[in-house]
Copies of this chain bind each other. A is one copy, B any other.
Amino acid sequence: MEAAKELTYKQGVGVGVDALLKVANVARRSLYEHFGGKDGLITEVLRLTAAEDEAAYRQTMEAAGDDPRRRLLAVFDWLGGIIAAPDFRGCRYLAAELALADPDHPGHAVTRRYRERVHDLLERELRALDHPQPAHAADQLLLLIDGTLAVGASRRDTRPAAAARQLAEQLLDAPRR
């Protein structure tokens, strides 16, 4: 799984099974016993990283203290660090969605649920902030997050996280004005 997480991110979900097995030092048969095939492995990778990434969101907000506004803005600072990493290659889930042409691939359900969970995390903070439209604002924050990751993947020179954070501040402050 560790090897699969890394390789499917660096090379995309189009990596060959042989390459996976080689870096993982695992027999071919074991893969098919455990996951049923490549699609099963990819789905499981998405499921596992989704759980890890959701936990990372929680931890980032937890470490930012009790103020919901600070907790939400901390997400963008955290994203800034992720994007700045030299091996950042964009959002794994968006890449998987765009690469898996078959709309019935089980991986799509995993990424969809992941986005819903992140959305709910954001919405909860917005409710704590007494935001008048927490669900709508969470949509917008998610849009800023996706935009940040997309720009981070395509224009390495800019600082999209800071730009997004500024927009997030306007979004959070707007209803109180």
Contact = CB atoms under 8 A, between A and B. Distances in A.
A153 B95 CA distance: 11
Interface residues of A, number: 42
A163 B150 contact: no
Given A11-B101, A99-B95, A151-B146, A170 B174 contact: yes
Contacts of A142: 151
Contact of A143 (B112, B140, B164): B164
A12 interface: yes
Interface string A114-151: 01000000000000000000001001101111111111
Q: How many copies does the complex hold?
A: 2
Tell me if A's interface is mostly helix, strand, loop or mixed.
Answer: helix
A154 interface: yes
Interface stretch (A30-38, A46-54, A86-94): A86-94
Question: Taking each of A89, A139, A153, A167, which has the highest tally of chain B beta carbons within 10 Å of its own beta carbon?
Answer: A167
A115 B89 CA distance: 17
Contacts of A90: 94, 97-98
A136 B112 contact: no
Interface of A: 10-12, 14, 89-91, 93-95, 97-99, 101, 111-112, 115, 136, 139-140, 142-151, 153-155, 158, 160, 163-164, 166-167, 170-171, 174
- Complex A-B, nearest 7 residue pairs according to Cβ-Cβ distance, in ascending order: A147-B147, A146-B150, A95-B98, A143-B147, A146-B147, A170-B170, A140-B163
